[in-house]
Structure 1
Amino acid sequence: MKRLRRLCFALALGLGLSLTTAGVSTAAPEVVAACPPEGTRFKTPTTGATVFLVGPSGFLYSIPSEAVYRKLWRTWDGIITIDRASCNKSSYALTNGRLRHWDGGGANVYIWDESWDDFGMTNRYRWIESWSIFTEKYHFDPEAIEEVKYGSDIYPILEPNWT
């Protein structure tokens, strides 16, 4: 949709200019969209039903199954379709992704992030820094949060946090 709006805007501007203006190319410009912002869920025409999530620091996740997707989001609303080439970076599966909250641990919500490996330390829970990041940026489903009885059910908790 953005491309269509940009194209219409470019055409509207172009109609006011002479095609013979010195130094102006009449060739159509190549439109290259940037990778969407953090928190965006998207599909691509070339990757089938796979849903991608742009996570913290632009880290790109793929959601490996509908079961994992349902542990994070209630609906399919908000997923956009883009050309995969516009976000041409490696993606990592958010394998076994889930949300947890320890009923004795304050308001903190954690996400299981099996993919993150910054120092050879995969398989960890990461704290989602605020409720607004949880609901407004990543649009996670509050009803998908698993309440756990013991702090050890959310282990290990390692940084960096989800921002």
Structure 2
Amino acid sequence: MKRLRRLCFALALGLGLSLTTAGVSTAAPEAAAACPEEGTRFTTPTTGNTVFLVGPSDFLYSIPSEAVYHKLWRTWDGIISIDRASCNKSAYALTNGHLRKWAVGANVYIWDESWDDFGKFNRYRWIESWSIFTDKYHFDPEKIEVVQYAEDVYPILEPNWT
């Protein structure tokens, strides 16, 4: 029954139906007051070339490689430099981060292996609007991989990227 519900949920999202989140996961670490705003990419002198991204709910991601970085963004433009101590919380690697869209749907999803709420690792998460995609996170639309089958953007689980 659980699988059927998940499949229906994935299909509904793929078809662009609006679903709302009942609540916010408590899995995201508490935000440090001095961290930059969500959507900010930054490096810091103490961590070398590591790029960090402040994600939804102030969840902090590290981009594990240049290859992953270029699956999300076209250029290095827009990265700021701050002292890592000012954003003193755990960073989770956006391992294998990439963008996908089902060919017959309008929604864009990001692969987020890091997010864990109640033991559910490894999932696609819906980026809630084009404005969030381009204006907040500055993802590159040309990096979206268009797939033919709904199961190629599965599992889709909440919370969404806001």
Bin for the TM-score computed over the shorter chain? 0.7 to 0.9
CA distance in 1, matches of 2:48, 2:151: 38
Question: 1:8 corresponds to which residue?
Answer: none
- Give the ranges of 4+ consecutive aligned residues of structure 1 lying more than 2 Å apart after TM superposition: none
CA distance in 2, matches of 1:42, 1:51: 6
CA deviation profile, 1:12-51 (whole Å, cap 9, x unmatched) = xxxxxxxxxxxxxxxxxxxxx8100000000000100100
State TM-score, norm by structure 1. 0.79
Larger Rg: 1
Q: What's the C-alpha RMSD, in Å, of the aligned pairs? A: 0.7
Question: 1:138 corresponds to which residue?
Answer: 137
Give the number of the structure with larger relative contact order, counting CA–CA contacts within 8 Å between residues 6 or more apart. 2
Within a 5 Å distance, the mapping from 1:60-71 to structure 2 comes to: 60-71=60-71
Compute the displacement of 1:98 (Å).
0.2
Amino acid at match of 1:155: Y
Compute the displacement of 1:56 (Å).
0.1
Q: How many residues align?
A: 130
- Percent of paired sites with the same residue: 85
Amino acid at match of 1:153: D
Within a 5 Å distance, the mapping from 1:6-45 to structure 2 comes to: 34-45=34-45
* Matching of residue 57 in structure 1 with residue 49 in structure 2: no
Amino acid at match of 1:108: N
CA distance in 1, matches of 2:50, 2:117: 25
CA distance in 2, matches of 1:114, 1:76: 23
Question: 1:100 corresponds to which residue?
Answer: 100
State TM-score, norm by structure 2. 0.79
- Unaligned runs of 5+ residues in structure 2 are 1-32
CA distance in 1, matches of 2:86, 2:136: 21
**2:151 aligns to what SS in structure 1?**
helix
Amino acid at match of 2:67: A
**2:46 aligns to what SS in structure 1?**
coil
Question: 2:88 corresponds to which residue?
Answer: 88
Question: 1:125 corresponds to which residue?
Answer: 124
